[in-house]
Chains A and B, each alone.
Chain A
Amino acid sequence: MRCAMSDRRSVWAAFLALALLCLPAVAQGHNVKPVLSGKTFQFVLQNGLQVVVVPDHRAPVVTQMVVYKVGAVDDPPGISGLAHFFEHMMFRGTKAVPGGGYSQSIARSGGDDNAFTTHDYTVFHEQIAKDKLRLAARLEADRMAGLDLSEGAVMSERDVVSEERRMRIDNDPQALVLEQAEAALYLSHPYGRPVIGWPDEIRRIGRVEAENFYRRHYAPNNAILIVAGDVTPEEVRQIAEAEYGPLPARELGARVDYAQPRRMGESRIVVNRKDAKVPLFLRLYRVESYAEGAPGEAEALEVLARLLGGDTTSVLYHRLVVERRLATDVSASYDGYARDSGQFSIRATPRPGVSLEAIERAVDEVISTYAHHQPSKVELARAKAQLVAGAAFMRDSQFEMASAYARALAVGLTGFDVQQWPARIQSVKPKALQDAAATSLNRNEAVTAYLLPRP
Chain B
Amino acid sequence: MIRHFAAFVFALLVLQPAFGAKVVPVSVVPGVVLWHSEDHTIPVVALSASFPAGSAYDPPGKTGMAAFAGYLLNEGAGPLNAESFQADLALHGIKLEVLPARDTMTVRFITLSSNAKEAFRLLGLALNKPRFDFDAVTRVRLQMMQALDQGREDPATVAERGFHSLYFGPYTYGRPVDGETRALASISAPELRAFAKTHWVRNGLRIAVAGDITAAALTPLIQSAFGTLPAAAPQAPAAPVRPGAPGLHILAMDVPQPAVVFGEAGPVRSDRDYIAAMIANYILGGAGSGSRLTRELRENRGLTYDVVTDLVPYRRAGLMLGTVQTRRSAVRQAITVVRETMRKFAADGPSPQELADAKQYLNGSFPLSFTSNADIAAQLNVFQDLGLPLDYLDRRAGLIAAVSLADVRRAAKRLFDPDKLTIVVAGSLPTGNTEPADSP
**A-to-B contact residues, CB < 8 Å:** 31-33, 35, 56-61, 91, 100, 103-104, 107-112, 127-129, 132, 155-164, 166-167, 170-173, 229, 274-278, 311-313, 318, 321-322, 328-329, 349, 351-352, 378, 381-382, 385-386, 388-390, 392-393, 395-400
Contact = CB atoms under 8 A, between A and B. Distances in A.
5 contacts: A31-B92, A58-B20, A58-B41, A163-B257, A166-B325
A50 to B, nearest CB: 24
Interface stretch (B299-307, B339-347, B385-393, B412-420): B299-307
Interface string B42-74: 111010000000000000000000000000001
Nearest to B376: A59
Interface string B96-122: 000000000000001110110010000
A400 B305 CA distance: 25
B90 A313 contact: yes
Q: Residue among A110, A112, A349 with the most chain B CB within 10 A? A: A110
Interface stretch (B237-245, B266-274, B357-365): B357-365
Given A35-B112, A112-B365, A396-B46, A278 B290 contact: no
A349 B146 contact: yes
B14 interface: no
Contacts of B18: 60
Contacts of A132: 364
Given A33-B114, A277-B149, 10 more contacts: A31-B93, A58-B41, A108-B360, A127-B368, A156-B300, A171-B257, A312-B86, A349-B146, A352-B146, A396-B373
A360 to B, nearest CB: 18
A311 B20 CA distance: 35
A110 B364 contact: yes
A167 B305 CA distance: 8
Contacts of A110: 360-361, 363-368
B111 to A, nearest CB: 8
B150 A278 contact: yes
Contacts of B255: 171, 275
A109 B290 CA distance: 13
A61 B375 CA distance: 13
Given A277-B152, A393-B95, A163 B305 contact: yes
B295 to A, nearest CB: 8
Contact of B83 (A33, A313, A378): A313
Interface in B268-295: 287-290, 295
B109 to A, nearest CB: 11
A59 B143 contact: no
Nearest to A280: B150
A313 B302 contact: no
A60 B20 contact: yes
A420 to B, nearest CB: 19
Contacts of A396: 42, 44, 46, 110, 211, 372-374
Nearest to A35: B43
Contact of A398 (B92, B304, B306, B371): B371
Contact of B153 (A58, A158, A275, A393): A275
Nearest to B115: A31
Given A100-B289, A103-B290, A163 B304 contact: yes
Contacts of B89: 313
Contact of A171 (B118, B256, B373): B256
Given A59-B21, A104-B357, A167 B325 contact: yes
The 10 nearest A-B residue pairs measured at CB: A110-B364, A389-B93, A159-B302, A166-B257, A59-B20, A156-B302, A164-B305, A397-B372, A32-B93, A110-B365
Contacts of A108: 357, 360-361, 364
A61 B86 contact: no
B326 interface: yes
Contacts of B182: none
Given A313-B83, A393-B95, A277 B150 contact: yes
B383 interface: no
A313 B94 CA distance: 12
B254 interface: yes
B395 interface: no
B93 A390 contact: yes
